[in-house]
Amino acid sequence: MNLHLINDVPDGLTRRARSFISAHGIKVDTKQVEQHRQWWLDREVPAAVIDRMAAYQERWGGLLLPPASQYDGGPKYFDPDSPEGTTSEGWWFEAGMQRTAVPFSFMIGPAGEFGIHADRWTPLHATVEGWVESLALSYHASMWAKQITKVTGDDVDRIALDAYEPVREVMGLADTWWRGADSLVAIYSGEAECFSSPGARTALIYSGLDEWGLHGGVEMTEDGGNVTS
């Protein structure tokens, strides 16, 4: 496997995520989608789906990031493969191979969502960018928090989030982040939803954060958008 330094960080990310990729990401060589286009076309994979895979490959292909705290680290690196679906339900394709033996695959959904697929399709974030932002935020919060508390199962519902606001850049679906006065809360519900197992829910509370710890160079605008500084 050939490894390369990152010299083309994808655009459309916060300053925090861009810095995270630049500092911790590397690129590995992967096969291009176009090499398999005809093989997939012969198996009735729509050309539009292959185009989506090619665009994903162009933007994210070969990017290897540090492991996530959940899902046994997430995909080892981004590499599209194995399109599956139907015209009525839509089409998914593999986001990248697993780092470890987990009972699900990491997939890109019909609308570009990043999620896991096993008993059912469970989108974690609305976009791949959301997954990357969440990963960058977890590393940032771990570095600056004075205390990290893990909560599981039904106790996750007892976390009072009334005074918190959603962290919009992660574009959370099953997995969400919340920002309070001096803490960040990450709630991971993907496996719980995928396997209909509420006890699998996990939350991490990063407390004792100052302004930099809460935002890491990302400020929220009045309309909920992001401003990078």
Would the pLDDT of 218 be above 90? no
Phi, psi of 185 (to 5 degrees): -125, 125
pLDDT level of residue 222 (50, 70, 90 thresholds): very low
- Across the chain, what does the average pLDDT equal? 91
Tell me, what's the pLDDT at 46? 96
pLDDT level of residue 2 (50, 70, 90 thresholds): low
Distance CA 183, CA 170 (A): 16
Would the pLDDT of 18 be above 80? yes
Please state the rounded mean pLDDT for residues 15-37: 92
Tell me, what's the pLDDT at 84? 94
Please state the rounded mean pLDDT for residues 161-186: 97
pLDDT level of residue 1 (50, 70, 90 thresholds): low
pLDDT level of residue 87 (50, 70, 90 thresholds): confident
Classify the C-alpha dihedral 33-68-211-177 as positive or negative. positive
Tell me, what's the pLDDT at 95? 97
pLDDT level of residue 10 (50, 70, 90 thresholds): confident
106 vs 218: which has the higher pLDDT:
106
Would the pLDDT of 168 be above 50? yes
DSSP for the chain reads --EEE-----SSS-HHHHHHHHHH-EEE----GGGGHHHHHHTT--HHHHHHHHHHHHHHTTEE-PPPSSGGGSBSS---EEEEEETTTEEEEEEE-BSS--SSEEEE-TTS-EEEESSSEEEEESSHHHHHHHHHHHHHHHHH-SEEEEEEGGGGGGS--TT-EE-GGG-BSSEEEEE-SSEEEEEE-HHHHHTT-GGG-EEEEEES--HHHHHTTEEE-TTS-EEE-
pLDDT level of residue 108 (50, 70, 90 thresholds): very high
Tell me, what's the pLDDT at 209? 97
Would the pLDDT of 79 be above 60? yes
Tell me, what's the pLDDT at 227? 41
Tell me, what's the pLDDT at 7? 65
Cβ–Cβ under 8 Å, residues 36 and 45: no
